Amino acid sequence: MQIIQHPASLFILFIMGILGQKIPSLPTNTAKRINKFILYVPLPAIVLTKIPFLNFSKEMLFPIASAWITFFGAALFAYLFCKWKKYDRKTMACLILCCGLGNTSFVGFPFLTYFYGAESLKYAILVDQPGSFLLLSTFGVIVATYFSAAALGWKGIIYRLISFPPFLLFILALFIKKEFISGMVYDTLDFIGKFMVPLALFSLGLQFKLNIKEVPWKKLSAGLAYKLFLAPAIIYFLYFILLKQRGELHAVSIIECAMPPMITSSILAADHDLDAALANTLPTLGIIAALPTLFFWKWILDMY
């Protein structure tokens, strides 16, 4: 059995989720249940099929660092923006999670294949796994737990962190030899992991509001301005201008940092009640907004 992964099919799933809002018999908490399933089943499966197979080397530092710089840059941006606009801590956490982490696989891989060919994915996987995915599994979980649990002490926060399955399996995956994840075990985990993106888009459709008046436009615009323009501009300046590193590896790193907000981190934010309205619109409208900006960054990179 093949899980649907074609972009057009995934867009249809998102539309089906929007239409699903009109079904009276559908429980109101369906999206939340789907989100829980994603975080507890497909996401851990992806951890086990990716992390044990990574081979670390010095060349990996540039793409990995680009993801980490983007995340901590988002933390600073969110702090300053929310202080300026007097937004609460939940909006701040949502911006950190959604705009600090990009959709580096579902959107990133197809675009990079189109821009640079399939060989470029060997660099993209570095941004995606020890970059975005590692950040999601560690600092992403910490941010979601801390900002959603103001009444909890550090013991409660640590308990939530260590009881989060993707985080536990990430730690485990660091010590698992890839020989143990092979054959039928790998095929089964890979099959389970492929449910993540289709289910995530369907869930986002269930939560997406078509009423334009309900979209938090100021917060959304600020988040997308950072994710689609400021973040890649920072990496561009560091790699191309300051360090004068202008190879394909560095170009791929910049393009990956220009990807729209991550779907999984938005689910994590919504699941922890961190400005759910913003969390639900950032990845969906972000994909639409990123279509012209990605071509803009490719044009900028092609100038050198």
Burial 166-182 (b: 16+ CB within 10 A, else e): bbebbeebeeeeeeebe
Structure tokens given for 121:
């994915």
Distance, CA of 251 to CA of 116 (rounded, Å): 10
Domains of the chain, residue spans: 8-20+29-302
* Phi and psi torsions of 227, nearest 5°: -70, -40
Identify whether the C-beta of residue 266 lies closer than 8 Å to the C-beta of residue 280.
Answer: yes
Q: How many CB atoms lie within 10 A of CB 270?
A: 25
Overall pTM surpassing 0.75 (yes/no): yes
State percent of the chain over pLDDT 90: 32
Question: Among 108-112, 146-150, 217-221, 272-276, which is the least confidently predicted range?
Answer: 146-150
DSSP-assigned letter for residue 62: H
Distance, CA of 90 to CA of 168 (rounded, Å): 25
Mean pLDDT over residues 215-237, rounded?
Answer: 95
| Residue 1 binned pLDDT confidence (cut-offs 50, 70, 90) | very low
Identify whether the C-beta of residue 279 lies closer than 8 Å to the C-beta of residue 98.
Answer: yes
pLDDT tens-digit readout, 130-182: 888 888 888 888 898 888 865 556 666 677 667 777 677 777 887 888 888 88
- Alpha-carbon dihedral of residues 43, 49, 55, 60, nearest 10 degrees? -30
pLDDT tens-digit readout, 190-207: 899 888 778 877 887 887
Q: What is the 3-state secondary structure (H, E, C) of 119-185?
A: HHHHHHHHHHHHHHHHHHHHHHHHHHHHHHCCCCCHHHHHHHHHCCHHHHHHHHHCCCCHHHCCHHH
Distance, CA of 257 to CA of 285 (rounded, Å): 17
Structure tokens given for 134:
């590692």
Q: Which CATH number describes the domain made up of 8-20+29-302?
A: 1.20.1530.20
Which residue, among 98, 94, 93, 92, has the nearest Cα to 80 in the 3D structure? 92
